[in-house]
Amino acid sequence: MPDAIVIRGVRKTFGSKVAVENLDLTIPEGGIYGFIGPNGAGKTTTLRMIMSIYFADRGEIRVLGKKSALESKDRIGYLPEERGLYRKMKVGAFLTYMARLKGVDSAGLAAKVRDWLARVALADCEKRRCQELSKGMQQKVQFLSALIHEPDLIILDEPFSGLDPMNARLMRDLIHGLEGEGKTIIFSTHVMQHAEQICDHIVMINRGRKVLDAPIGEIYARADARTVVVEPLALAADFSRIPGVREAVKSDRNGDYELHLEEGASPAEVMRAVVQATPIRRIELKRPTLEDVFIETVQKAEHVSAESVREALHAEAAGAPGAELGAEARVGVGRA
């Protein structure tokens, strides 16, 4: 199968700030790829370089077998993080315009637009101006503007940011539907749970460098499960005394204990010892979350504390949309 995207040795700087460094990445056709990493990691920059909105300082990017996205734009659907509509334009006219820009023939386009609008329950909005729609409806129109030309490669930058739960589900269904049609989907997110829920393959980026690139199953298989969760029937045992347990933390909420294992301890043996020590209602080996994997990976790669990585990862919550752009703007001006 040919590759949808091939990136070789790409570097991109904004002024003195290195946004992406020495990136190699191959994305085969078909499947859902998740780009994860904290804000400012270089995800948007990478996606923009794939779209030829930015140009790499160094390295090579091939998209759908062509030298750049400029030659295959009509086969790519791109939903930027910073997305909007022409406020005064009518919904149908806007989608028609976007489709025409993407090279869709005008014959039969009106029917196609109506069809897509019906698929997202906006059938009656064709003649309404974009500014008359609710925010959620506008978001749906934005999805359609990226999908109306039925692209083979779909790039979604933070598709879930700012979505209400209903639209988030619609987005997920759309992504799965497109996957079923054999399309290649790349999306970036800083919310690890979203990636966990839908991706086949994960690419982790931190500070402009790729730190992990693997199928999600492999990531879980590789990641050590180092936490045992126990729900005892009664408070009987001191779990921290069990060999191999480094620390036992009681959850305030439901009386669970989280047993963090020592380096090299066997989870199977610890679990056996726990069951022998006290009657329990439930015991499980907790699978690490993607966030845990991310933190561990970055920790190992960059020799920093888990707390600082976690902080970076959650700083996003405070960051308003466009924070990433703002950072770049500041860097650009900073050279003056």
Partner 1 sequence: MPRTLLVATREFKSTVLTKGFIIGIVLPLVMGGFLLVLMPVFKNLRPPPAKGTVAVIDRSGEVAELLRYELSSERLTELVRKREQRQREQAEQLVGGLVGEQQARGAMESAAPFSDVEGRIPTLTIEPLPTTASPDAEKESLRDKEGGRLAIIEIGANAVRPRADGTYGGYKPYIRSTLDEQNQGTISRGVQRAIAAARLRAENYDPARVEALSEVREEQSVSITRTGERVSIPGVRYIVPIAFILLLMISAFTGGQYLLTTTIEEKSNRVIEVLLSAVSPMELMVGKILGQMGVGLLILLTYSGLGLAGLIAFALLDVLSWMHLVYLLVFFLLAFFMIASLFAAVGSAVTEVHEAQSLIGPVMIVLIIPWLLMPAIVEDPSSTLAVVLSLTPPIAPFVMVQRIAASSDPIPIWQVAGSIAVSAFTAAFTAWAAAKIFRIGVLMFGKPPNLATLLRWVRQA
Residue 66 or 330 with smaller CB distance to partner 1: 330
The minimum distance between CB 179 and partner 1, in angstroms, equals 20
Largest CA distance in the chain: 75
Query: Which region among 115-123, 190-198, 273-281, 325-333 touches partner 1 (by CB under 8 A)?
Result: 325-333
* Residue ranges in 69-98 that form contacts with partner 1 under rule CB under 8 A: 70, 73, 76-80, 82-89, 97-98
Q: Which of 12, 36, 19, 52 is nearest to 324 (CA)?
A: 19
Q: Which residues on adjacent β-strands are paired with residue 280?
A: 232
Q: Which two tokens stand for residue 119?
A: 């698929």
The minimum distance between CB 102 and partner 1, in angstroms, equals 5
The SS3 call for residue 66 is strand
Number of residues that bind partner 1 (CB under 8 A): 37
Which of 101, 110, 121, 249 binds partner 1 (CB under 8 A)? It is 101
Residue 253 or 335 with smaller CB distance to partner 1: 335
Between the alpha carbon of residue 26 and those of residues 48, 50, 179, 287, 299, the distances in Å are 16, 12, 18, 28, 25
Report how far Cα 274 is from the mean position of its chain's Cα atoms. Answer: 37
* Residue ranges in 11-70 that form contacts with partner 1 under rule CB under 8 A: 48, 51-53, 70
Residue 147 or 242 with smaller CB distance to partner 1: 147
Burial (Cβ within 10 Å: 0-12, 13-18, ≥19) of residue 203: buried
Q: Does 127 bind partner 1 (CB under 8 A)?
A: no
The minimum distance between CB 156 and partner 1, in angstroms, equals 11
Which of 145, 167, 184, 189 binds partner 1 (CB under 8 A)? It is 145
Residue 104 or 293 with smaller CB distance to partner 1: 104
The minimum distance between CB 41 and partner 1, in angstroms, equals 18
Residue 105 or 181 with smaller CB distance to partner 1: 105
The minimum distance between CB 43 and partner 1, in angstroms, equals 14
Give the whole-angstrom CA distance, residue 40 versus residue 190.
Answer: 10
Between the alpha carbon of residue 134 and those of residues 82, 140, 211, 267, the distances in Å are 18, 10, 39, 51
The minimum distance between CB 322 and partner 1, in angstroms, equals 5
117-124 contacts, C-beta under 8 A, 24 or more apart: 117/91, 117/92, 117/144, 120/144, 120/170, 122/91
DSSP 221-255: HHS---EEEEEESSS---GGGSTTEEEEEE-TTT-
Q: Does 288 bind partner 1 (CB under 8 A)?
A: no
The minimum distance between CB 94 and partner 1, in angstroms, equals 9
Query: Which region among 33-41, 177-185, 235-243, 321-329 touches partner 1 (by CB under 8 A)?
Result: 321-329
Between the alpha carbon of residue 212 and those of residues 94, 132, 267, 271, 275, the distances in Å are 39, 43, 25, 30, 36
The minimum distance between CB 168 and partner 1, in angstroms, equals 19
Vertex 145: Cα angle to 83 and 149 (nearest 5): 145
Instruction: Give residues in contact with partner 1 (CB under 8 A).
Output: 48, 51-53, 70, 73, 76-80, 82-89, 97-98, 100-102, 142, 145-146, 322, 325-326, 328-330, 332-333, 335-336
